Amino acid sequence: MRKTNRFLMVLSLAASSSLWAATPTELLNGYATAAGAKGQPDKGQAFFTSTHGKEWSCSSCHTKQPTGEGLHASTRKVISPLAPAANEKRFTDSAKTEKWFRRNCNDVLGRECSNAEKADVLSWLMTLKP
Per residue in 66-115, pLDDT tens? Answer: 999 999 988 999 999 999 999 999 999 999 999 999 999 999 999 999 99
- Could you tell me if residue 83 is inside a domain? yes
Query: What are phi and psi for residue 27, nearest 5 degrees?
Result: -65, -45
User: What is the reported pLDDT for 49?
Assistant: 96
- Could you tell me if residue 130 is inside a domain? no
- Could you tell me if residue 112 is inside a domain? yes
User: What is the reported pLDDT for 32?
Assistant: 96
Q: In terms of residue numbers, what domain contains 82?
A: 3-125
How many separate domains does the chain show? 1
> For the domain that residue 19 is a member of, what is the CATH number?
1.10.760.10
Measured CA to CA, the distance from residue 108 to residue 83 in angstroms comes to: 18
Q: Which residues lie below 8 Å from residue 128, measured CB to CB, with a gap of 6+?
A: 65, 66, 67, 83, 85, 86
Residue 117 confidence class, pLDDT cut points 50, 70, 90: very high
- Could you tell me if residue 26 is inside a domain? yes
- Could you tell me if residue 21 is inside a domain? yes
- Could you tell me if residue 15 is inside a domain? yes
- Could you tell me if residue 79 is inside a domain? yes
Instruction: Give the pTM.
Output: 0.84
Residue 10 confidence class, pLDDT cut points 50, 70, 90: low
Res 126 pLDDT > 90? yes
Residue 19 confidence class, pLDDT cut points 50, 70, 90: low
pLDDT 10s digits, 56-71:
999 999 999 999 999 9
Res 3 pLDDT > 80? no
Element (H, E) at 78: strand 78-79
Measured CA to CA, the distance from residue 56 to residue 14 in angstroms comes to: 33
- Could you tell me if residue 13 is inside a domain? yes
